[in-house]
Amino acid sequence: MSNSQSLAFAVASVLAEHKAQDVQVLDLREIAGWTDFFVLGSSSSITHMRGLARFVEEYLDSEKISSLNRPVASEDESWLLMDIGDLVVHIMSKEARSFYELEKLWYKAKAYSVSAEGSTLGSAERRAESQRENRA
């Protein structure tokens, strides 16, 4: 397992443990040259979004990993993006997640669902496989 992959799943686990909903890891290594993984999670409120970002930052600090930005969520934010180089973390409101549909935009990526109990092959990967078969 690569360092960026283990970091992606560790950050996803942090989100899941702190009640982010529908946590996904998208493996972009074969389709994007500028990052390896997206970690997506939905928050239930702006306060929850801020808390999730703080927990991710605390985890990164404990691992001596610095992010390229330190986002601050204002009261009307619906999407918080944390750039960690080989990993980009997206913490979004449910409405923003539904509107932007990043999993559909990056449908060719392998997707994994992450819960507080562990990770599994996500429905996004099954959907991507189905779409690839239909095009063939």
Taken in order of first residue, the domains within the chain and their CATH numbers are: 3-135 (3.30.460.10)
In angstroms, the CA 82 to CA 75 distance is: 18
Which runs of E-coded beta strand occur in 21-98?
21-27, 37-43, 79-83, 87-93
Which residues, at least 6 apart from 92, have a Cβ–Cβ distance to it below 8 Å? 40, 41, 42, 43, 78, 79, 80, 100
User: How far apart are alpha carbons 127 and 129 in whole angstroms?
Assistant: 5
pLDDT 10s digits, 95-121: 999 999 999 999 999 999 999 876 554
pTM of the entire predicted model: 0.82
pLDDT in tens, the chain (136 residues): 569 999 999 999 999 999 999 999 999 999 998 999 999 999 999 999 999 999 999 999 999 998 887 777 667 789 999 999 999 999 999 999 999 999 999 999 999 999 987 655 444 444 444 444 444 4
